Amino acid sequence: MNREISTGVAVITGASRGLGEVLAHFLAGQGYHLILNARGGAALDAAVRSLAGYNVQVKAIAGDIAEPSTRRAIVQLARSLGSLDILINNASILGASPLVPLANHPLDALEDVYRANVIAPLALIQEALPLLKSNHGLVVNISSDAARGGYETWGGYGSSKAALDLISLTLANELKGEGVAVVTVDPGDMRTDMHQAAYLGEDISDRPMPDVTLPFWAWLFGQDRIAISGGRYQAQSEQWEAVNEAR
């Protein structure tokens, strides 16, 4: 059953460029008021300006999502707008660059990766949960094929995304009865700053731009939220919909 999209409030972390910025434009076009977060204030301000043509409110919270004060500010702003319908945990960090074998990965850098890619998304969900429950909201956690690939030198980033996958499925099982849906999405390889950082000095122009995922997002946000909860989806796959893994 398709869910009719209506005006609501969406939070997007890592929204100043790449996939986050594409999602901001898509949801603004669907009538969602936006709360955007990114670490870099100048880039975030530019992203906000690029959304000026939409008839929606766009608010920005610059800051590191790994910091509790940033998460509190985001949720307080959502509360002031009266709603939180979609929470997209898109912000993440790669870790050591250039990538290094897991056996040699600096442990302090690995702690930073887990803090940004695992703890921060969960903490933001926890902080936002009362609003998500009130609005039968949807949480979208951005994953990666590195979560399952076991690729050489991708162990730090990939293991953090594998942890996020399990957290997402567990939350989907726990929150389904309260009307909150949680999914993970692997957007696939894209031409982004993070992907370039993983391949320093290499030409990644053969990768598609993030807007290649737009047909998938149009599908996902049109679905009944609880019906898709617990799923892990691949935005560039020939078949987006995975078997629903929630139990």
- What whole-number distance in Å separates Cα of residue 64 and Cα of residue 48? 17
The rounded distance, in Å, linking the Cα atoms of 168 and 181 is 10
Closest CA to 87 of 168, 191, 199, 2: 168
Q: What six digits make up the tokens of 104? A: 């040699």
Query: Hey, which residues are catalytic here?
Result: 143-144, 157, 161
